[in-house]
Amino acid sequence: MSPRLAVLLAGTALAAVLGGTAGYVLLGGKGDDRFADCRETAVAGGMGAVGGPFTLVNSEGETVTDKDVITEPSLVYFGYTFCPDVCPLDNQRNAEAAYILEEEDGIEVTPVFISVDPARDTPEVVGQFAANFHERMIGLTGSPEQIKAASQAYKTYYRLHEDKDENPYYLVDHSTFTYLVLPGYGVVEFFRHPDFAEGTSLAEDVAARTACFVDRM
């Protein structure tokens, strides 16, 4: 098995395992959830179980907070730029969904990429990575402490391989969720890898569900 295929399969398997964990955290009754009809699952606790404030560094080297970044509906993804398969696939899906929403629904959505590999992912690197997918995608990095805090807020998982000090091409295990975050509401939905309705593409399904949430803002 090639290293690239192994990473892809590992990422998918990890997402499935973590999907069960996230389901435990996120599943709940509809209650007063105004967005319940848009999602396949409901978010318990008034949508406050996942997501929250963060302080990171953008591609210009500026320190920014979640209030600076989440100014419109956003698709937030945690990964790393050296990721050989899963991260490019997921970020391409998110970028395509943003294009579909803008072209077909007149809705602007910001794709956001948050690195979990600050040693290699400098502000310049995450900026170039983001620009390769969408002109409005925001690339974020930060100190190990800042990234850990953001990851914990969003209940994500990541682990740098033990050979990171000797191998410049080390891999990072990480969860593969994309979070739909609405300004003023927080996280209202998450998408797994892969996650799409039968008969539609990944991007089309993400776009359709995102449009539903935005319509109810």
Tens-digit pLDDT string for the chain (217 aa): 333 334 333 443 344 334 433 333 343 444 467 888 887 655 455 456 889 999 999 999 999 999 999 999 999 999 999 999 899 999 999 999 999 999 999 999 999 999 999 999 999 999 999 999 999 999 999 999 999 999 999 999 999 998 888 899 999 999 999 999 999 999 999 888 765 545 557 788 889 989 999 999 9
Structural domain including 77 reads 3-215
pLDDT at 36: 83
If you ran DSSP here, which 8-state letter would residue 142 be given?
-
How many Å from the N-terminal Cα to the C-terminal Cα in the chain?
46
Q: Distance between CA atoms of 139 and 209, rounded to whole angstroms?
A: 24
pLDDT at 25: 38
pLDDT at 199: 52
CA 138 to chain CA centroid, Å, is: 11
Residue 7 sits in a domain whose CATH number is: 3.40.30.10
The region, left, alpha or beta by phi > 0 then psi within -120 to 50, assigned to residue 66 is alpha
pLDDT at 194: 66
Q: Which residues of 176-187 are buried (b: 16+ CB within 10 A; e: fewer)?
A: bbbbbbbeebbb
pLDDT at 192: 81
Q: For residue 195, which of 10, 39, 73 has the smallest C-alpha distance?
A: 39
When divided into structural domains, the chain yields a total of: 1
